[in-house]
Homo-oligomer: A and B are copies of this chain.
Amino acid sequence: MRQPIVFVTDFGRDDAYAASLTGAAMRVDPHSICVEGTHGVGAGDVLAGAYHLKALARAFTGGAVLCAVIDPGVGTTRRAIAIKAGRLRCVAPDNGLVSYLWNETDPEDRWAISLDIPPGTSPTFHGRDVFAPAAAELASKDGFDVAGDLIDDPVLLPAAFAERRGNAVHGVVAVVDHFGNAITTIRAENLGDARVRTVSWPAGSCEGLVTTYAEVTTTVGALIGSAGHLEVAGNCVAVVTVGGPQVGDAVVVELA
């Protein structure tokens, strides 16, 4: 069955670039089902892109082809890759965008290919000329049949993975979302079954975890968000305005 193509880019929505991906996919397969994941990733922000790809993978559990184009190195020698992680497939420049998709899939159930670059490709727009056509090709059928060489070492971002040191888990804020919640690289599985004692960042801290945004009664609280990452959240307020952390800030969870 034809699967949807879900685009994740830093193109913004105010130019023709985003829709050009849809056009390019439709050239390969006029019946492509094109979904706007988000075109709002910060320019060149690969870590944020990796997080949004993971969040979308959780939503498209029936299978989809993610097409990620956050690509400051376009036209240089960086590889273009396709991966298969369980039922999900993803095409992207090989710069760390697939960090979570790759890391969180059983090694038995993941494959990666270094894509051939078609002749005539524009040196400034691989999204249109490489990634969208490859995504459309993959989405039009099952399997993982695209032109290129099998590889086993897609680039992963070290910064995407929190570190456990003793009773503490050290991460960073990867994304501040539209509501002003600061989403970290600390994942539910990093905490295991231990109780959270405190969550701290350069400018402040809070105690324990809550379950819903509405429970945050003081200025900020911490909770596990809908993609399984710890976030510092406010009650209808951007956390940075009430002492919370911002993108890139170190966040430490102390476990009981």
Contact = CB atoms under 8 A, between A and B. Distances in A.
Contacts of A43: 178-179, 236
Oligomeric state, in number of copies? 3
B17 A37 contact: no
A106 to B, nearest CB: 22
A13 B26 contact: no
A211 to B, nearest CB: 5
A76 B215 CA distance: 9
B35 A15 contact: no
A61 B40 CA distance: 26
The A contact surface, by secondary structure, is: loop
Contacts of A255: none
A67 interface: no
Interface string A19-60: 111111011001000111111110110000000100110111
A12 interface: yes
How many of chain A's residues touch chain B, expressed as a range? 35 or more
A213 B75 contact: yes
Interface string A56-100: 101111101000000011111000000000000000000000000
Given A26-B60, A55-B20, A61-B27, A124 B226 contact: yes
Interface of A: 1, 4, 6, 8, 10-24, 26-27, 30, 34-41, 43-44, 52, 55-56, 58-62, 64, 72-76, 122-125, 128, 175, 177-179, 211-215, 223, 225-227, 236
19 contacts: A6-B23, A12-B178, A15-B40, A16-B38, A17-B177, A19-B37, A22-B35, A23-B60, A23-B62, A27-B60, A43-B236, A59-B128, A72-B236, A75-B214, A76-B214, A123-B211, A124-B213, A124-B223, A124-B225
